[in-house]
Structure formats: structure tokens, C-alpha cells
Structure 1
Amino acid sequence: MRQLISIRVVAVAIGLFFALSVLWALVRGIGPGFSNLAEYGQFTEPNVEQAFHKHPNHYDFSFDGPVGNWDVGQLQRGLKVYDEVCSACHSLKFVAFRDLAELGLTPGQIKAFAAKHQVPGVDKNTGEATTVPGLPTDYFPSPYPNEIAARAANNNAVPPDLSLMTKARHDGTNYVVSLLTGYQKQPAELLKRFPEAKTPPGLHYNPYFANLNIAMPPPLHTDGQVTFDDGAPSDIKSMAEDVAAFLTWTAEPKLVKRRQTGWPVVIFLIFATGLAYMSKQQVWAAVKPKKAA
């Protein structure tokens, strides 16, 4: 009898474990893995990065949480910030112009938006490589013809593609906002403790960047830099949040649909676990455990 009860308990526990695992993945997402040992402290004296690097601040977004949803207006504003500011240095090579239909743009708007961008093409008369106005089927073009040109224009640093940036960085959405709003002068304490770590010429101090010094100058440097058609605030923080939301969409365009699909799956697994348990009870109901001698 005790053995039978133990088997039942184990079966229920296994079913609940799998159901709760899916629920946890739905709510929290896949974690970035174990943090660097520096986060937990070391026996040695911390270096300048460990002492002054800051983790991203938390910002509230409409797509946060298990029942979050896209703020289409914010995504459209983020697209405009990217197009007018970020696209001067960064590409979106995994995003096609036609994908913007998910942001509420009409076919006509997408066609016009694509046409104002020059993409690699071929001259119909000579057959030589050239640039032509984009089509909805084209992808966002790179602002540089090659890596050498990119390095030459950016203090020997290649601006990364932003298509998957929020997935490539821990707490990516908050990281983007914190980085864009985190430019500042080096703290006096840093220069006192680590005088050799003074920011080199051509770089900019940002405590949210991994090694504190970043080649990219502040892209959002003044309020009202981008004017939004819907009259939304255009201070630096608001613009940073808007473009961070847009880059979250470029990295995970199916984020909301995935969560919406996940809830029925979790409910089904819980229901299936209960059904399996009751079926097992029914099948083995006629089997009586042997009494101990």
C-alpha cells in the first residue's frame, strides 16, 4: 500500500514539475545563465570595471509580464528614432521593410518608407553594382559599404547590428535605455582610486557599458531631437524608451504571440496531469495491494 501511494505521489510530482517549469519559462523567460563571479564578490581587490560598472535600471514597458502587449504607438515612435538617429551608424539586417506592417503601417506607407532608403542593386543599363531605392521586400541597409569604412568612421570600432541587440545583452531592453541615458563625466572617486583608468580621447564614459568607455558618442543628446507625429514627449529618456521598445520588437517580433500561446499550453499540461492521475486511479482501482504477512 505504501509503495502504491509513493508511486502516485511521484507521478503527480513529475506532472506538476513539468507544468510549473513551463509556467516559470513563460513568466520569467530564459535567464541569461549564471552571472560572472564578480557579481558575488571576490577575494581580490575589484578592478575598475567591477567597482564602477552599473546594472541596467528598470523601466516599465507595456510588453512586460505574462499578459503584456505591444504599444504600437511606442513602436512607431521607436522606429522614427532609429530611422532619424540610430540608422546613421547601425544596421537592422534581419528586418525587412514589409515587416513594418506589424507596427500598423499601411502598404502605401511601407512602400514610401522603403523607397527613401538606398539598398544595394544593379544598374539595369550597365550591369554594374549600384544603389537603388528600396522595395518592401528589401531589408534595412547598412550605413557603410564594408567593415573598413565602418571602422574609419567610428574610431576603429564597428557599430553592431541592432536587430538582435536586446537579446544579445542581459536585460536587453532596460540595458538599451540605461546605456542611451547613462553618458556622464567620470566620477571623482574613480579617478582617485584608478587614475590610470581615465577615459582615453575619442571615447566616452558610460557606467552601463561593459568596460565603462564606449566609442559611440551620445546619440540622443538633446530633448526634442526627434519630433513625433502623435505629440508624445520627446525628451531623451522618452526617446530612449521608445527605441528600446522598437529594438525589443525587432529581436522578438513574436514575443507577445508566444506568451499568448504559452498560457493555453500551461493550462493544458495542468489539466492533462490531473486527467492522467485520474485515469491511473481508474485503471488500477481493481488491484488491491497485498497485505503484509
Structure 2
Amino acid sequence: MLKLLSVRLVAILVGLGFALVALYAFAIGAYNAATEEPAGHLPYKKPMDLSWSFDGPFGKWDQTQLQRGLKVYDEVCSACHSLKFVAFRDLEQLGYSEAQVKAFAASKQVPGIDPNTGEATTRPGLPTDYFPSPYPNNVAAAAANNNAIPPDLSLMTKARGDGTNYVASLLMGYAPPSEELLEEHPEAAPGPGLHHNPYFPNLNLAMAPPLTSAGQVTFDDGTEATIEQMSKDVAAFLTWTAEPTLVKRKQTGWPVLIFLLFATVLAYMSKRQIWAAVKPKK
């Protein structure tokens, strides 16, 4: 009995240790989030709190919205930004047929090798290919974008805090700085080749407004292509590129939680049954 109590005590102490470490990490993270000052002490805005179909434990993808977002990326964003971790065949998850994916891939030029000369060339894409970069290298990318290399967007919503809302807010947020802001923070004035955006930590970025007018993209489902609509659609699409298994993970989580709850109850009842006739020694 003494040995059994010792084992239980050690298990309790180990569990308590893990709990204290987790609590400490949570407290440090919460403190840093509450006290962290904006980059450069500039008063940038937090992303807008927008509504998304994939929010919450029962969220799911809106395939129509994802298809609209793909079109915004393809016709606007792909001129500067790559999606190097997304293969054309992945688009079947958005509701496209195999034939549609093949046609879409074939409309893109991807890097290839000339079989006759062995030299680098380009060829029509295949479903197994990944979205190509718009630039041959970083030097060309920087030269075309005021010495700023456009980031790959595959994981962008994971790389930024509150990523989906951040991307949508940034795309909708371009506006000249207010006079009040410039009076308090003269350094917030956009320099040569920079564009003011209150949702960007430095308030000014090299990327010009990509969405400039309503109707810039024509949606196949007839949805009106306002700047707000296009911003939200491409943000949702980039959320899918960053974590295409998001909804599946949520759907899997519920059966796992139910199983763990059932297993816990069963283990407790078994423990009561097994040790019911055992009386501790005094």
C-alpha cells in the first residue's frame, strides 16, 4: 500500500509540475501581449473583427467564397506574390473538377528543362506542379518593388497575428494619414515609394494598394466585387492555403473529445469497481 501511495504521489507531483509550467507560460504570454508596444511606438490599428464561415468549433469552408478568393489572387495578387506551398491539384478541394484543375494548371507557365538542350525553360503547368513565382529570383523581385521582396502568401495568415482579419483589414485600410496623426507623429508620413496603411505596424509599406476599385475582378457567381468583398474573399482563400485541414481538424476534434470523456468516466468507474473491496490499512 505504501508503494502504491508513493506512485500516486509522484504522478500527482509530475502532473502539478506540468500544470504550473503551462500556467507560467500562459501568464508570460498574456503579460507580453498586454504590455507590448506597437513597433516604433506608432499607433497602428488592430485588425477589424470580421465574421468568417470557418470560425468557431463548428465552422466550415464556404467553397464559393474560396473560389472567389482564388480568382482575386490569380488576377491581382499573383502579379507580385507566390503560393509556393500550394499545388494546382489542391484546388480540387475547392470544388473544382479534375478537368478544370488541368485547364487552370495548363494556363500557367512553370519552370522546366528543355529535353534537347538541358537549358532552363518554361512549360505549361500540370496538376502536380505548384503555383509559380512571378519573379525568377529575389533580385528581380526587389528591383520591381522598390527594393522590397513581396512575401510568399502560402502561410501568411499563420505568420501574422489574427491573420485572416489582418489580411482583410490591410487590403481595405489604405488611406492618407490624418493631419492629427502627422502632428503627433511626423515620422508616420509615408516616404518615397511608400503607402500609408493604419493596419501595418510601421504604418507605411512598399506595397501599393492592390485593390483599387469595385469591379476589378468579375466573380463567376455574380457577387458584386466591392473592395471589401474582394478583400474578405482573398483573406479566406489564404486562410485555406495556410491550413487546408482546418475544418477537418475541427470535425475530428469533437469525436476525440467525446471518446476521451467516455474513457475517463469508464476508467473512474473501473477504478471504483476494482478497489471497492480493498480497505486501506490503518
| DSSP-derived class of the 2:29 partner | coil
**Alpha-carbon distance change, 257 to 196 in structure 1, aligned in 2, over 3 angstroms:** closer
Q: Give the Å deviation of 1:232.
A: 1.0
Aligned to 2:140: 149
Aligned to 2:29: 34
| DSSP-derived class of the 1:199 partner | coil
Q: Is the 8 A contact 2:170 2:200 kept in 1?
A: yes
| DSSP-derived class of the 1:98 partner | helix
The reply to whether residue 169 of structure 1 matches residue 164 of structure 2 is no
Aligned to 1:185: 176
Amino acid at match of 2:90: D
Amino acid at match of 1:116: S
Aligned to 1:64: 55
Amino acid at match of 2:161: H
Q: Give the Å deviation of 1:207.
A: 1.2
Amino acid at match of 1:257: K
Q: How many residues align?
A: 266
| Cα shift readout 1:188-212 (whole Å, capped 9, x = no counterpart) | 1221112233210100111111211
**Alpha-carbon distance change, 250 to 232 in structure 1, aligned in 2, over 3 angstroms:** same
Q: Give distance in 1, aligned partners of 2:31 and 2:273.
A: 51
Which runs of 5 or more residues in structure 2 are unaligned? none
| DSSP-derived class of the 2:170 partner | helix
| Cα shift readout 1:97-156 (whole Å, capped 9, x = no counterpart) | 011000111111111101111100112332211111111111000000000000000000
Q: Is the 8 A contact 2:86 2:131 kept in 1?
A: yes
**Alpha-carbon distance change, 114 to 150 in structure 1, aligned in 2, over 3 angstroms:** same
Q: Pairwise CA RMSD of aligned residues?
A: 2.6
The correspondence of residues 223-262 of structure 1 with structure 2, limited to 5 A, is 223-262=214-253
Aligned equivalent of 2:207, options 209, 216, 224? 216
Aligned to 1:114: 105
Identity percentage of aligned residues:
68
TM-score, scaled to structure 2: 0.87
Which runs of 5 or more residues in structure 1 are unaligned? 22-30
Amino acid at match of 2:211: L
| Cα shift readout 1:248-278 (whole Å, capped 9, x = no counterpart) | 0000000111111111111111111111111
| Cα shift readout 1:66-102 (whole Å, capped 9, x = no counterpart) | 0111000000000000000000000000000011000
Amino acid at match of 2:146: N
Amino acid at match of 1:40: T
Query: Is the deviation greater in 108-117 or in 48-57?
Result: 48-57
Q: Give distance in 2, aligned partners of 1:48 and 1:210.
A: 6
**Alpha-carbon distance change, 276 to 90 in structure 1, aligned in 2, over 3 angstroms:** same
Aligned to 2:277: 286
| DSSP-derived class of the 1:222 partner | coil
Runs of 4+ deviating beyond 4 Å? 35-39, 46-49
Aligned to 1:24: none
TM-score, scaled to structure 1: 0.84
**Alpha-carbon distance change, 95 to 52 in structure 1, aligned in 2, over 3 angstroms:** same
Q: Is the 8 A contact 1:38 1:50 kept in 2?
A: no
Q: Give the Å deviation of 1:52.
A: 1.4
Q: Give distance in 1, aligned partners of 2:255 and 2:279.
A: 37
Amino acid at match of 1:139: Y
Q: Is the 8 A contact 2:42 2:203 kept in 1?
A: no
Q: Give distance in 2, aligned partners of 1:209 and 1:82.
A: 20
**Alpha-carbon distance change, 77 to 40 in structure 1, aligned in 2, over 3 angstroms:** same
Q: Give distance in 2, aligned partners of 1:177 and 1:249.
A: 14
The reply to whether residue 77 of structure 1 matches residue 72 of structure 2 is no
Q: Give the Å deviation of 1:40.
A: 2.6
Q: Give distance in 1, aligned partners of 2:202 and 2:97.
A: 42
Q: Is the 8 A contact 2:42 2:188 kept in 1?
A: no
The correspondence of residues 6-21 of structure 1 with structure 2, limited to 5 A, is none
**Alpha-carbon distance change, 97 to 47 in structure 1, aligned in 2, over 3 angstroms:** closer
